[in-house]
Amino acid sequence: MKIAFLIPDDRDEFRRYELPSPLFGPAPDALLSGFARLAEKDPNCEIHVLSCSKQPSAAPERIYNDRITYHQLPVGSWGYLKSLYSGCTRAIRSRLRSIHPDIVHGQGTERYCALAAVKSGFPNVVTIHGNMRSVAQVNKARPFSFYWIAARLEARTLPKTGGVIALSRYTQEKVRPLCKRTWVIPNAVEERFFGVTPVLANSEEDPPQLACLGTLCHHKNQNWLIRALAPLQKEFQFTLNLYGAPAEGTPYAQEFYSLLSTHGSWIRFHGHIPRSKLPEVYAQSSLILTPSLEDNCPMVVLEAMASGVPVIGSRIGGIPDLIRHGETGWLFESQNEEDFRDALRQALSSPQNLKEKGENSRSVARSQFSPEQIALRHLQAYKEILSLPAGS
């Protein structure tokens, strides 16, 4: 089977054109590593990745141990959001005609990938990474802002694709009225996280190290988290480590810095950290906190589970699909401070409790979220699409 993945190169998004190879983000990267392994075993499995770029940068012809072909497509800035990605969709359609794939897979509705997949002229599926209609609603997106436009493009695109890969049952229910068929397939998690050994797992003396990872913004909900934790800090003597970049100059960032100045004795703000440092972060953490107001299949939960670190997460979106309450971690009702504090008290009742939940988490992650297993589940969805009568 010949598969074409449409995936943004994050070097283009972050203007890091000097980097020597494409950046696809943690979820696509783990999925592609799984497909690279399938290609090693099956020479008939041919994988192509197409990315648009405003500026030329290093574009190796083969990636993932030479198992995947990479195509960088130059598109001027006019061809992106300001033209509703018309330049990107045309460039991708032109290259696909020379590849002639059996199926096209658009990764995400945030930018051009889903739109280009449905306009490709080939059988196609789309993965929903962020539910842009919900994200726009939670953030009260202003007309013609990025989230506002992305939400409308998502609503127009989903009815035209052959099927949607939903990362959670939550997303499946949200997209079901708009699309022909769906599959629930979670993200894969990179193999390197399964090798993490949490150094605090057996600690009886050191204070708990809590961690929250993610861009500091309204729907990730870190400011609420700080206020909810404050009454318990003296009881448990924990440290809260925050990782992620704030949107400087926004009211949310201003509120965050005010909270930081008030509670700075027990909060450590690390800002943005490179992904290469994440295994170290998980190894040094007793517990991961995910208080999001909107989330589909957060990679931080999958990575923590694979690393053997339990998670407390809000009972929203796709998080309940990942965390088994009381077995691999704990869930709480979103924005309910007392429910959250009850979950935290349970988690911090003993180091042994954290260790057991962490071990359970890793076991579940290994059985359900490994790259090759997730790639195989995608392959089954592609075969289902291709087995349908033409035009259905």
Residues 201 and 139 in one domain: no
Residues 9 and 127 in one domain: yes
> Is 391 among the domain residues?
no
Once rounded to an integer, what is the mean pLDDT over residues 382-390? Answer: 89
Residues 203 and 116 in one domain: no
> Is 224 among the domain residues?
yes
Once rounded to an integer, what is the mean pLDDT over residues 309-313? Answer: 97
pLDDT at 249: 85
pLDDT at 203: 54
pLDDT in tens, 35-46: 999 999 998 999
The highest-confidence range among 54-58, 60-64, 245-249, by mean pLDDT, is 60-64
pLDDT at 392: 60
Specify the amino acid at residue 161. Answer: T
What is the number of residues in the chain? Answer: 392
CATH of the domain at 25: 3.40.50.2000
pLDDT at 389: 81
Percent of the chain topping pLDDT 90: 83
How many Cβ atoms sit within 10 Å of the Cβ of residue 142? Answer: 10
> Is 145 among the domain residues?
yes
pLDDT at 95: 98
Q: CA-to-CA distance for 38 and 62, rounded, in angstroms?
A: 16
User: pTM of this prediction?
Assistant: 0.85
Instruction: Please state the domain count of the chain.
Output: 2
Three-class secondary structure of residue 184 per DSSP: strand
Average pLDDT, the chain: 93
pLDDT at 131: 85
Residues 275 and 344 in one domain: yes
Residues 137 and 42 in one domain: yes
> Is 392 among the domain residues?
no
Residues 167 and 218 in one domain: no
| Domain span including residue 267 | 191-368
Once rounded to an integer, what is the mean pLDDT over residues 280-298? Answer: 94
Q: CA-to-CA distance for 329 and 388, rounded, in angstroms?
A: 40
> Is 184 among the domain residues?
yes
Residues 201 and 167 in one domain: no
Once rounded to an integer, what is the mean pLDDT over residues 77-94? Answer: 95
b (16+ CB within 10 A) / e for 277-311: ebbebbbebbbbbbbbbbbbbbbbbbbbbbbbbbb
pLDDT at 200: 64
Residues 255 and 173 in one domain: no
Nearest to 151 by CA among 180, 195, 117, 110: 110
CB 288 within 8 A of CB 212: yes
Once rounded to an integer, what is the mean pLDDT over residues 180-191? Answer: 94
CB 39 within 8 A of CB 46: yes
Percent of the chain topping pLDDT 70: 98
Please calculate the CA angle 164-168-169 and round it to the nearest 5 degrees.
90
> Is 341 among the domain residues?
yes
Residues 10 and 94 in one domain: yes
Once rounded to an integer, what is the mean pLDDT over residues 355-367? Answer: 94
> Is 118 among the domain residues?
yes
pLDDT in tens, 3-39: 999 999 999 988 899 999 999 989 999 999 999 999 9
pLDDT in tens, 320-338: 999 999 999 999 999 999 9
pLDDT at 391: 58
Residues 125 and 271 in one domain: no
Up-side HSE of residue 65: CA atoms within 13 Å toward CB?
Answer: 9
> Is 76 among the domain residues?
yes
Residues 25 and 91 in one domain: yes
Residues 239 and 338 in one domain: yes
Three-class secondary structure of residue 243 per DSSP: strand
The pLDDT of residue 201 is above 60: no
